[in-house]
Structure formats: C-alpha cells, structure tokens
C-alpha cells in the first residue's frame, strides 16, 4: 500500500483539549482502518509542526476522505504528502529517460 506522511498543527480548539489527544488518536486509527488504511506511527514533534503521522492507505482518495473527516472535527490542520519507499524510488529513477 502507498505510504503517506501527514504533518499536523493543533488548532486553538485542539490545544485547549490536548488531554483528549490520546483518545482522539485512537479514534483516528479506527477511522483510517474503516477506510482500509492503517496509521503506522504517530510522533509528537518540536518545531514548526506539532505531530507527524505515517500511514498506509489503498489510494489518494482514501487519504483525502480521512484528512477531510479529521479536519472537520476542528482539532488539527494537516498537510499530507505521498511518500515513496526505496524500492519505488529506485523504480522511478530507473524509468527516467
């Protein structure tokens, strides 16, 4: 399955209710599973972003649905990128003209 990296920033609402964060994360994991994907890891980070999520999903449409559903709750803003693993990277490079 394709891999996706999501950079998260807490909204004012999300940071006010940060103690609910672990239960929100569990709900997010369940939501991703219900769409056929899996959150592989969650990392609280320092700097420009507050957290990073690594997930696998069948396709971009699933990730878009998940991102929109999550954003609609109002606790985080996100930026998601498709990540290519080493095997995919090598295949892409090998196919260059």
pLDDT tens-digit series, residues 51-97: 999 999 999 999 999 999 999 999 999 999 999 999 999 999 999 99
- Is 3.30.70.920 the CATH number for 3-94? yes
Tally of CB atoms within 10 A around 1? 13
Number of helices (H) and strands (E) in the chain: give both, helices first.
4, 4
Q: For residue 50, what pLDDT is reported?
A: 98
Domain ranges of the chain: 3-94
Q: For residue 20, what pLDDT is reported?
A: 96
pLDDT digits (tens, 9 = 90+) for 20-42: 999 999 999 999 999 999 999 99
pTM of the complete model beyond 0.85: yes
Q: Give the CA diameter of the chain.
A: 52
């Amino acid at each position: 399955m394709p891999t996706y990296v999501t950079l998260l920033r807490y909204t004012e609402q999300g940071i006010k209710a940060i103690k609910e964060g672990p239960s929100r994360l569990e709900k997010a994991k369940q939501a991703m599973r219900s769409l056929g994907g899996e959150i592989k890891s969650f990392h609280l980070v320092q700097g420009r972003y507050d957290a990073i999520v690594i997930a696998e999903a069948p396709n971009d449409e699933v990730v878009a649905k998940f991102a929109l559903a999550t954003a609609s709750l109002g606790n985080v803003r996100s930026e998601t990128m498709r990540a290519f693993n080493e095997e995919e990277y090598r295949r892409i490079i090998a196919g260059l003209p």
